Structure 1
Amino acid sequence: MKILFACIICTIILAPSLPCVAQVGEYQPRESHTARRPNYSSQTAVPRPSYRLDRGDVVAVIVQGVTGEFSKAPVHMPKRGDDTLPAVGHPMVVLPDGTLPMPMIRPIDVRGMTIVQARDAISNAYLDERILKKPNQVTLSLMRKRTVSVSVLHEHASPGIRSVSQVKIPSDQADILHALIGSGSFDPDARVSIIRSGHQNSRTSQPLTDGYLTDGYLTDGDIVHARSQPRGYFYTGGRLPGGEFALPRDRQINILQAISAAGGIEHRGIVGPHSVTVIRQNGTAQRFSYPQALNHPHTVLIRPGDTLIVR
């Protein structure tokens, strides 16, 4: 029995390996080029205290004695997924110049106004023209929000596969996250940039910097360009369960993390593992003692195509 244990100890200690500090540059950690996951929480439109009217908005209006009585006004229920409330009144569209055409008076400039401010402006205009005798005879509600039309170009991880979607999103949700979700091709790890549509038909690309965009708001004609990164895999054998395992896209992993991701080492009898071999995709291989791999796991970072063998 003593002879058996002595043999085991000698096998572990004398297992052929090179010191971790003496590895060639191929196995030393290097600057990671993995994709930084975009911070989409910073790219969502900040909710405003009150919705501001602009061209394309549809409002429901009732002016007592002018457009009809409140009791006979039509009721408009919001569509499924619409966050507006039920609206009562006759539909009217805010014109491109920001004005709201009203019967019997001049158009009212409502651009930048809240619903309450626009209602008061309409009421005051009718009072000034002596069409209304008293205030509080105008009802105004938001029927449908204006939309922003953008294109989403998604280059998928599989080479040569692209998808293009035209997306219309409410103006107060005109951000990258809602555009990607609306296109149906959201990838949280994709690299994203915005191609801005300028007034002179010029286009500028604004990429994510360290996961952030300085301006994530979208306007009509903008293009959201998403590029999914191909996923890398590493392979295992020996005392590790044989198989193919995906590498994270946004970070690199070391030997111990790779062993854990593969399901851990299979125990066979009383003899523990004594060596770890990493075979690179280019065919080079290097072996480490298992104790050295435990004590210095960050010496080697696993790359796509690597094969990890534990004996």
Structure 2
Amino acid sequence: MASFTGCSTLTQPINGIPAHRLSPDFFPPPKNDLVPVDIALLSLEPPRDYQLGPDDILGVYIEGVLPFNPPNAPPEPPPVNFPEENSTLPPSIGYPIAVQDDGTLALPLIEPLQVEGLTLEQVREKIRQSYIENDILRAEKARPIVTLIKERTFDVIVVREDASSGLAGGRGDQTLRGSDKAASGGLVKLPAYKNDVLHALVETGGLPGLTAKNEVLVLRASEADKRKRADFLRKYWAQQRVAMSDPCYCPPELPEDPSILRIPLRVRPGVIPNIAESDITLQDGDIVYIENRETEVFYTGGLLPGGEHLLPRDYDLDVLGAMALAGQGVGSTAGRSGGGGFGGASSVGGVPPGMLYILRKTPCNGQIAIEVDLAKAVNDPRSRPLVQPGDTLILQYKCEEELLNFGLGTFFTYGIQELLRDN
């Protein structure tokens, strides 16, 4: 009778293993309990007083020297400088003089002064003492003014792949390829003591969106780090070419690149991420990279509407939720033409499909089929495995469900025909 009705469990068998019989190694760890990292850890704590460094521009006024005043001539007032747009600095006075790359400040009539790491007050006092010691100014006339016109900046590159998202939660009639891959960002100039990861993110749109991974990658621009990355990839692929000569070789996953810094944005409760100040400090040419989640998808087929669906980023999705996301609620008949398959049983509310298979990839290009009895899954949360990236969900009828739907469809069709004949 089963072969006559076309029972899919016989004609298209899937050799599945019940979910409760599998090792926990086959199931992803839950992420419902992950908590956001304190974003203050991504920001530098500025010092109380600004400490000078190369490329800072100071406003300096030294009466009688800068600018030079002839004897008996009235002193020229210092110029007033207004800050650039979006700058947090107050207006300053004095003639602009930049701190050199070696950390020195060049002033008239004296040797360059080393000012790197000093505060404005310390620089003012150092200038005063230098002009007094060189017999250029008398102590009562040595009253230099030192202000900050423009702080030094760091050029950082930010690349974000969460700029535009084609899907908020995944839809079966729309693929992810090309929809959330768009990258944005560019060159960002960060002032001193704001050259950190948090300010780089704020300048380019804020924390990563839902289509991005819950982490921030930092690639250093130093030549040493570039060479380290190149050596790492060269050695890895050299090992792979040698190992691939073995027909039984199982390619491992690409290991973590030691030269790339990964900063997590969500962690387990009680876990304090080890984020040092040097990790979040950005220098000229460093790259901040927000990677998308285009590979964190699952697929549906069988009696489920076929499609590719984006997994939620911050919470778990079990098989019942995945079915609802695909447009097939638990307990409803298959939503395709002839889903009941036999005499239109689906049109009169036939028995819904009760078996779901999860095709999950394993190492070495293998696969395991996880069998989920939907009746048990509804009543027992332990029978509802969590969906993980790359899973394929296939919904099928059990053989007895197809036979019952065949009987219901036949009886319904026969009853209608007899009713019309009597009339």
Do both proteins adopt the same fold according to a TM-score greater than 0.5, normalized to the shorter chain? yes
**In 2 relative to 1, CA 199–62 (structure 1 residues): closer, same or farther, beyond 3 Å?**
farther
Match of 2:288 among 212, 220, 224: 224
1:14 corresponds in structure 2 to none
Alignment of 1:149-168 (within 5 A): 149-154=155-160, 165-168=186-189
- Per the TM alignment, residue 152 of structure 1 is displaced from its structure 2 partner at its CA by 3.5
For residues 75 and 382 of structure 2, the distance between their equivalents in structure 1, rounded to whole angstroms, comes to: 75
Residues 8-46 of structure 1: CA deviation (Å, up to 9, x unaligned)? xxxxxxxxxx97524x5799524589xx99955433222
Residues 104-160 of structure 1: CA deviation (Å, up to 9, x unaligned)? 322221110011111111122223334143277222111111111233455678578
Of structures 1 and 2, the larger Rg is shown by 2
2:344 corresponds in structure 1 to none
Match of 2:222 among 180, 197, 204: 197
For residues 181 and 272 of structure 1, the distance between their equivalents in structure 2, rounded to whole angstroms, comes to: 53
For residues 263 and 41 of structure 1, the distance between their equivalents in structure 2, rounded to whole angstroms, comes to: 41
2:115 corresponds in structure 1 to 110
CA contact (8 A) 1:52 1:115 kept: yes
Match of 1:179 among 179, 193, 200: 200
Letter in 2 for 1:208: R
**In 2 relative to 1, CA 158–241 (structure 1 residues): closer, same or farther, beyond 3 Å?**
closer
For residues 113 and 25 of structure 1, the distance between their equivalents in structure 2, rounded to whole angstroms, comes to: 61
1:66 corresponds in structure 2 to 65
CA contact (8 A) 2:323 2:330 kept: no
Q: Match of 1:179, SS?
A: helix
1:277 corresponds in structure 2 to 356
CA contact (8 A) 2:372 2:384 kept: no
- Per the TM alignment, residue 253 of structure 1 is displaced from its structure 2 partner at its CA by 2.6
Tell me how large the CA RMSD over aligned residues is.
4.8
- Per the TM alignment, residue 219 of structure 1 is displaced from its structure 2 partner at its CA by 1.8
For residues 145 and 383 of structure 2, the distance between their equivalents in structure 1, rounded to whole angstroms, comes to: 68
Alignment of 1:122-141 (within 5 A): 122-128=127-133, 129-134=135-140, 137-141=143-147
**In 2 relative to 1, CA 186–132 (structure 1 residues): closer, same or farther, beyond 3 Å?**
farther
2:101 corresponds in structure 1 to 96
**Residue ranges of structure 1 left out of the alignment (5+ in a row):** 1-17
Which protein is richer in strand relative to its size? 1
CA contact (8 A) 2:217 2:263 kept: no
Q: Match of 2:107, SS?
A: coil
For residues 252 and 47 of structure 1, the distance between their equivalents in structure 2, rounded to whole angstroms, comes to: 39
Q: Match of 1:148, SS?
A: strand
Q: Match of 2:220, SS?
A: strand
Letter in 2 for 1:169: L
2:388 corresponds in structure 1 to 303
Residues 221-250 of structure 1: CA deviation (Å, up to 9, x unaligned)? 33334432216445789xx99997631235
- Per the TM alignment, residue 289 of structure 1 is displaced from its structure 2 partner at its CA by 3.8
The 10-residue stretch of structure 1 (98-107 or 156-165) with the greater mean CA deviation from structure 2: 156-165
Q: Match of 1:127, SS?
A: helix
For residues 356 and 224 of structure 2, the distance between their equivalents in structure 1, rounded to whole angstroms, comes to: 59
Q: Match of 2:132, SS?
A: helix
Residues 260-289 of structure 1: CA deviation (Å, up to 9, x unaligned)? 878996999xx9999573554889674424
For residues 396 and 47 of structure 2, the distance between their equivalents in structure 1, rounded to whole angstroms, comes to: 57
- Per the TM alignment, residue 102 of structure 1 is displaced from its structure 2 partner at its CA by 1.6
Letter in 2 for 1:302: V
CA contact (8 A) 1:154 1:162 kept: yes
CA contact (8 A) 2:377 2:383 kept: no
TM-score by length of 1: 0.69
Task: Establish whether residue 170 from structure 1 lines up as the match of residue 255 from structure 2.
Answer: no
Alignment of 1:184-263 (within 5 A): 187=208, 189=213, 190-198=215-223, 202=227, 205-208=259-262, 213-214=275-276, 215-230=279-294, 232-233=296-297, 246-249=310-313, 252-255=316-319, 258=322
TM-score by length of 2: 0.53
2:152 corresponds in structure 1 to 146
CA contact (8 A) 2:18 2:370 kept: no
CA contact (8 A) 2:153 2:189 kept: yes
CA contact (8 A) 2:155 2:189 kept: yes
Residues matched between the structures, number? 292
Letter in 1 for 2:261: P
Q: Match of 1:116, SS?
A: helix
